[in-house]
Structure 1
Amino acid sequence: MIKSAYIHIPFCEHICHYCDFNKVFLKNQPVDAYLEFMDVEMKNTIDRFPTQHLETIFVGGGTPTALNQKQLSYLLESIQRNFDVVPDIEYTFEANPGDLSLEKLRLLKEGGVNRLSFGVQSFNDDLLKRIGRSHRKTDVFKSIEHAREAGFDNISVDLIYSLPDQTVEDFQDTLHTAFSLGMEHYSAYSLIIEPKTVFYNLMSKGKLPLPTQEEETSMYDVLLNEMEKHGYHQYEISNFAKEGYESKHNLTYWDNESYYGIGAGAHSYTEGVRRANHGPLKKYMDSIRETGFPYKEEHVVTREERIEEEMFLGLRKTQGVSISRFERKFDAEMLNILKGPIEENIQKGLLEQQGDFIRLTKKGKFLGNEVFQAFIGAI
């Protein structure tokens, strides 16, 4: 059963130097037409892949809150029209600090949105400028204050560490400022340099002074210790929450469950098939006009691939992968068909068995990619 929907708004007023998501500058784009075609995609998708009800909706980007009031209202009505937005659903909007007015926040709340995810990244204004962010530290405090005033009591803040010239002390300062906000959820990711980004081009020219591997490891160690000290439990490699505020939407991905992907460049996983939508707006809209769907490619996931995904996605969770759930799902004994990589990584001190779960050790969290790679082609 499909429990989640991801909806992609590709428009941005500024392009961050590290971002490789599907996005375009907002100015002079066919925003209204795009929203109308997305409405058609939602309807056609539900008709083709019906589900009883959704448990999570996540609107990401791009910058969803870059839409004006009228466009935002249309999007919210479109989502409500096509999906069953019940009161207990987890309904998240990504937002940029500084471009989210109190009026927009109230509109989101009235439209059923009950969770916000702010892309803060850092509280160092010099670093924010350097990575191409348009907001500053004071904007974050103002946006959070307005969000609380509008009635939001489930807010997440995204942070990035291992930024150019960033020190361990600077990241620690950012964490202390973040904790002063008292958010319900924090995500913190190490910077990854992706192709076709400003940072990639700078790195190729030797003009991107990044922290050393040892400094990055120290930042992650500080992250784990500070989150625990401040009462946020780690439930995934990069995610921390107060009890009961874990991201149900992201858990859909890590549990390797089915989900809708709506919008240009979005990905979906339904009925054992992974689909990727066209990214360019014209191709996206033309494809819907011609066929009713925007699919660029479709891949039927083999049993072996599903097992690989079950492991390298599920091991991101601190709880790990349930042995009994695995066996029900695949009618096979995990500790038998994956004996080699499991035993090898247990011997290395990177994996451990805790009751019904195989999970990363603390050492394994620092070397997660090495562990995940061990399950590729293991069957």
Structure 2
Amino acid sequence: MIPRSVYIHIPFCSHKCHYCDFTAYVVGGQPVDEYLDALEEEMIRTVKEIPPETIETIFIGGGTPTVLTPVQLERLMEAIRRRFPDRSEDLEFTVEANPGTLTPEKLAVMKEGGVNRLSIGAQTFRPDLLAKIGRVHSVEDIEQSVEQARAVGIDNISLDLMFGLPEQTVADVEEALQRGLALSPEHFSVYSLKVEEGTVFHHQLLRGKLPLPTEDEELEMYLLTRRRLEEAGFRQYEVSNFCRPGRESRHNTVYWLNLPYYGLGAGAHGYAKGIRHANVRGVGEYIRLVRSRRPVAESHTVFKDEAMENHFLLGLRLLDGVSRKHFSRLYGKEPEKVFGSVLDTLTRRGLICLEGDRYRLTEQGLLFGNEAFASFLGEGA
């Protein structure tokens, strides 16, 4: 249970989007350099407590990590190299980036620091819709970001798109897919909007001022996405993720396979040595706490029952599904002995099927995945 993956959270943005409920703060006036000092201090404390083995994936998320200046990005890259020096030869090193925050200088610093994958938040290619969801970049910024990344030699690019946005049409989604495909990325993450409590969109929804597509339109958007990307040679390997052959997100697959990972930074979550933890969310509190201890807000031991539940509710997100033999080796029980009634019910309803050794979502299950996943909660005893 020693992690071979590292997640690092940079909680700063140039602007907070209307749908965002992540740990993120507008960067103006924030103690960014002090935060980077604290982040390295957390790395020191964490690797002392949980010494790392060879690291296979690193993911810097946010927020928007690329709001950091080139000097700050270089500091971050050097800190990661100092504290996690043993890296796999085929390390996957991803940074999340928003269009409009990338420059050739920043990209060169990241490339020098070992970054070989970018996850670029395009979201939509309709200019007025970008503004309505709180994005501060343009369509041209998306295209320029991809072009600049290619120019420095970063050859693994993922585009994030969203559907189910206010006033968005099926035609908008089709155009976004066409324009995204024209940029020849290696990967797409395509998510439906979820209105989270406390966001700008949530307040608008409560006031009846959030004109969302109908459920039928949202379903059509998802089916269109799957069809268009498959026709373009992308394989859907997870409910919301599509890739060229061999370009799956190895880091995110760690989460879906319920494997351990280091979680560092304000608001970050981690899983190591059978314990899940969440760090404090406030930047000031994070900086203060890390001077004397790891800045953990809460933690709990994951016992066997919870681990088995997580194995299914996360693993079924992958279209490869969950292996019966692997489950039995890990937990000493066949999945039917633990989840027999759940598996029977989901199979009868046509949401999952058993193909050879693996339980997988069916076509119908892909559309009602959250319902299928939730069925395993509290059933691992």
Counterpart of 2:128 in structure 1 is: 126
Counterpart of 1:232 in structure 2 is: 234
- In structure 1, distance between residues paired with 2:325 and 2:74: 45
User: By how many angstroms is 1:87 displaced?
Assistant: 4.0
Counterpart of 1:160 in structure 2 is: 162
- In structure 1, distance between residues paired with 2:30 and 2:140: 30
Cα deviation 1:172-191 (Å, max 9, x = unaligned): 11111111111000000000
- Out of 206, 221, 240, the position equivalent to 1:204 is 206
Identity of matched residues, %: 47
User: By how many angstroms is 1:227 displaced?
Assistant: 1.1
Counterpart of 1:305 in structure 2 is: 306
- In structure 2, distance between residues paired with 1:46 and 1:322: 32
Counting matched residue pairs gives: 378
Cα deviation 1:37-78 (Å, max 9, x = unaligned): 100111111111113111100000001010011111100100
5+ residue gaps in structure 2? none
- In structure 2, distance between residues paired with 1:56 and 1:373: 28
SS in 1 for 2:45: helix
RMSD (Å), alpha carbons: 0.9
> For residues 280-291 of structure 1, what are the structure 2 equivalents within 5 Å?
280-291=282-293
- Out of 276, 290, 294, the position equivalent to 1:274 is 276
Which amino acid is 1:179 matched to?
L
Counterpart of 2:348 in structure 1 is: 347
- In structure 2, distance between residues paired with 1:320 and 1:87: 28
Counterpart of 2:374 in structure 1 is: 373
Following TM superposition, where does structure 1 have runs of at least 4 consecutive aligned residues deviating by more than 3 angstroms? Answer: none
Which amino acid is 2:220 matched to?
S
Residue 50 of structure 2 corresponds to residue 72 of structure 1 = no
- In structure 2, distance between residues paired with 1:19 and 1:316: 22
Residue 171 of structure 2 corresponds to residue 194 of structure 1 = no
The answer to whether the 8 A contact 2:41-2:291 is kept is no
The answer to whether the 8 A contact 2:52-2:84 is kept is no
User: By how many angstroms is 1:336 displaced?
Assistant: 2.1
SS in 2 for 1:289: coil
Which amino acid is 1:129 matched to?
A
- Out of 141, 149, 152, the position equivalent to 1:150 is 152
> For residues 13-32 of structure 1, what are the structure 2 equivalents within 5 Å?
13-32=14-33
SS in 2 for 1:91: strand
Which amino acid is 2:236 matched to?
Q
Counterpart of 2:100 in structure 1 is: 98
Which amino acid is 1:240 matched to?
F
Which amino acid is 1:365 matched to?
L
User: By how many angstroms is 1:86 displaced?
Assistant: 4.5
User: By how many angstroms is 1:304 displaced?
Assistant: 1.2
- Out of 166, 172, 175, the position equivalent to 1:170 is 172
TM-score, normalising length: structure 1: 0.98
> For residues 131-142 of structure 1, what are the structure 2 equivalents within 5 Å?
131-142=133-144
- In structure 2, distance between residues paired with 1:322 and 1:36: 43
SS in 2 for 1:89: strand
5+ residue gaps in structure 1? none
Q: State which drifts further: 153-162 or 85-94.
A: 85-94
Residue 334 of structure 2 corresponds to residue 333 of structure 1 = yes
The answer to whether the 8 A contact 2:237-2:320 is kept is yes
SS in 2 for 1:58: strand
SS in 1 for 2:327: helix
The answer to whether the 8 A contact 1:94-1:117 is kept is yes
Counterpart of 2:57 in structure 1 is: 56
The answer to whether the 8 A contact 1:3-1:54 is kept is yes
User: By how many angstroms is 1:302 displaced?
Assistant: 2.1
The answer to whether the 8 A contact 2:123-2:162 is kept is yes
Counterpart of 1:295 in structure 2 is: 296
SS in 2 for 1:307: helix
- In structure 1, distance between residues paired with 2:24 and 2:143: 26
SS in 2 for 1:75: helix
- In structure 1, distance between residues paired with 2:14 and 2:370: 33
- In structure 2, distance between residues paired with 1:342 and 1:263: 38
Cα deviation 1:113-162 (Å, max 9, x = unaligned): 00000010000101100000011111111111111001011000000100
User: By how many angstroms is 1:270 displaced?
Assistant: 0.7
- In structure 2, distance between residues paired with 1:369 and 1:86: 34
Counterpart of 1:250 in structure 2 is: 252
Counterpart of 1:214 in structure 2 is: 216
- In structure 2, distance between residues paired with 1:342 and 1:336: 10
User: By how many angstroms is 1:233 displaced?
Assistant: 0.2
- In structure 2, distance between residues paired with 1:192 and 1:286: 33
Which amino acid is 1:241 matched to?
C
Which amino acid is 2:177 matched to?
L
- In structure 2, distance between residues paired with 1:133 and 1:87: 36
Cα deviation 1:271-312 (Å, max 9, x = unaligned): 111111000011111111122x00001111121111111111
- In structure 1, distance between residues paired with 2:226 and 2:337: 33
Counterpart of 1:12 in structure 2 is: 13
SS in 1 for 2:237: strand
- In structure 2, distance between residues paired with 1:290 and 1:76: 24
- In structure 2, distance between residues paired with 1:297 and 1:196: 21
